[in-house]
Amino acid sequence: MAVHPIKSFLGEFRQFVNRGNLLVIATGFVMGSAFSGLVSALVENVVMPLVAIPFGQPNFDDVFILRANGAEVRFGAFLTVAVTFVLVAFVLFVMLKLYNRAVAREEVGATPVAPSEIGLLTEIRDELRARRTDDGLI
């Protein structure tokens, strides 16, 4: 007796949702969005005003405009986006370096515990069972 394609599809979808991957992906997406807002706010409100000190303004939109036959080529607007991108990348790089340094300091104090032989065998057994179940063998 063949399984109906829609039931099979819905069964696969249910397995996907119940596996936990969707929750991990959603959590990562939400955290990434929040972190993006944090980095953007830091760049726009702290770093770009610092750029304005030597250049007079943190926005180059009204600078480097080429006008010909009624068309405007706004090199300054592109320059603003490019500078913002580089500054966001730099701030993100610095934040990750600081985070990695803080995590490395925490790990220095922790003493790693080697898993027991029975613990390793149990993990291998559980992984094999999970793979067998995911492949539909059980």
Q: Which of 12, 24, 6, 7 is nearest to 135 (CA)?
A: 12
Distance CA 99, CA 102 (A): 5
Residue-range domains of the chain with CATH: 5-110 (1.10.1200.120)
Distance CA 122, CA 128 (A): 10
Residue ranges of alpha helices (H) inside the chain are: 5-18, 21-42, 48-55, 75-109, 117-134
Q: What is the DSSP letter of 69?
A: T
Find out whether 60 and 78 touch, Cβ atoms under 8 Å.
no
> What are the residue ranges in the chain where pLDDT is below 70?
1-2, 20-21, 108-113, 134-138
The pTM is what?
0.51
Distance CA 133, CA 128 (A): 9
Tokens standing for 14? 């249910």
Residue 2: per-residue pLDDT:
66
Residue 136: per-residue pLDDT:
63
